[in-house]
Structure 1
Amino acid sequence: MPISVHVLGSSGGYPANGQPCSGYLVRGTAGAILLDCGPGVATALLRDGPHCNLDAIAISHLHPDHTLDLIPLAYSLLTEWLVDGRTVPLPLFVPLGGIDFLRRFSDLFGHRQWRLPTDGGSPGKQAIATSLAQGQDWVFSVFDIREYMPGDDFGRGDLTVRTHPVDHGVPTAAMRIDDADKSVVYSADTRFLPSLASFASRTDLFFLDAHLSGLFAPGGAHMTPMEAGRLGAMAEASELVLCHLATPEDGDSARRAAAVEFKGPIHLACQTSEYAL
């Protein structure tokens, strides 16, 4: 199958106008990987059934609008273990410090204190019950959590994600997925960074942070739409997708600003959800 991207959400900071925060489902010949898991993403991912059908999750950085729905997604995986017999943890790649972050986050809900009968039930249920009896957090059973440094490559099987450190004030990674002769690059949240153009060189689809998209954008370590267009032109990308806008209402003006610098097709993540290459 060709590589495809389903935008589950792209709102910056909070789920504006009912659209979830950052979450991009990339599918290719090797499987499916979710890039970021902000508020509302689990709802969008599970809209058509109880299983997430993912091969991995990759988190670009640990801000709440990119991570908070890891907990509801963990609950859906827990149901797979308890009811459907799942026994294989889902790989979850997080930046350095992510394991401690998730442990403290999960502890807010007392997950280590849960207990289940250790006799009977599916192998998955028995595995969860045993880990709980040993004082372990079941979230760390349903996820196989692995830390990476921005700049590392990681993946599962043939599904490889290349990363590049970007400028967002906390450890943050842009991500690139190549499949056959097609590629997708996700800038994550970042200020304008010329080295990102080399990382994204000649990509087919470049998802670019354009958060500083209007007069009322809250500011911070992001790009303007014009800067996003400039970076896309430097990378010689085929098409751009502007994401993480301050508000969806900024979409038309953001596209016009990016078009000053980038002459190819420009899409808005808040308007178009499906991309196939």
Structure 2
Amino acid sequence: MSENCNHDCSSCGEACASRDPKSFLEKPHAESSIRKVIGVVSGKGGVGKSMVSSLLAANFQKKGYHTAVMDADITGPSIPKAYGINEKATGDEHAIYPVVSKSGIQVMSVNLLLEDATDPVIWRGPVIAGTVKQFWQDVVWKDVDYMFVDMPPGTGDVPLTVFQTIPVDGIVIVTSPQELVSMIVGKAVKMAQMMNIPIIGIIENMSYVECPDCGKAIEIFGKSHVDDVATQYHLPVLGRIPMTPSIAAASDAGAVEDLEGNWLDVAISAIEAIPENPDKSK
């Protein structure tokens, strides 16, 4: 920092520590222990991002890891429903405590704080972003190997807050088969690149329907463009999740943890292989 610094970075061309994005990183609660943080993002809504977040955490939990999901989609929270969680989070003057699912996944969501889960969250951007920061700073995340942050769609306040204040080890981009996704994925990719966040790869949700008679994959949304998009942005395809009655039924019943399938095996291996963020405070 220059000795003449007036702390107004908007009109300054100097490269100094005050402009380093790492300087915005916030420490988690003193009693938290979090090894890796994975963001699950999408450029638009309706692609099943929350389902992918809940499936990833459940699959890692089955492998013997301790996992957690931070539901950062404040105005559209759905993670508690996926796990069949009905109880509320608790807290005291010391901290907020996440709710633990039946398989041991730690979950924090605004729905766990509302009196009625159907109450709308009608908050302005800064309040929403502040809530996400609280989920990181004020919640005690105990002995977490992998935290999955279920982000809201788009590139607004919350993704910016997460990327600036939480030491994210990498992100997974969730998309769907339609051709429109090329532009949508591009927005998510470019935001991550601007924020210096590693991109692990792309997962295509609702990729196909499996014929119950012959097992053939039927692309009901038309030919998938995920390979073309992945090539365009030099990213690996980490998995293709089909549309199946079992997935829909598990989601409705709050039984995502009971789902069996190898759709995310490549994604799991890729996430396991990423190095820990050296800037993470433990």
Q: TM-score, normalised by structure 2?
A: 0.36
The structure carrying a bigger helix percent of its residues is 2
The structure carrying a bigger strand percent of its residues is 1
Q: TM-score, normalised by structure 1?
A: 0.37
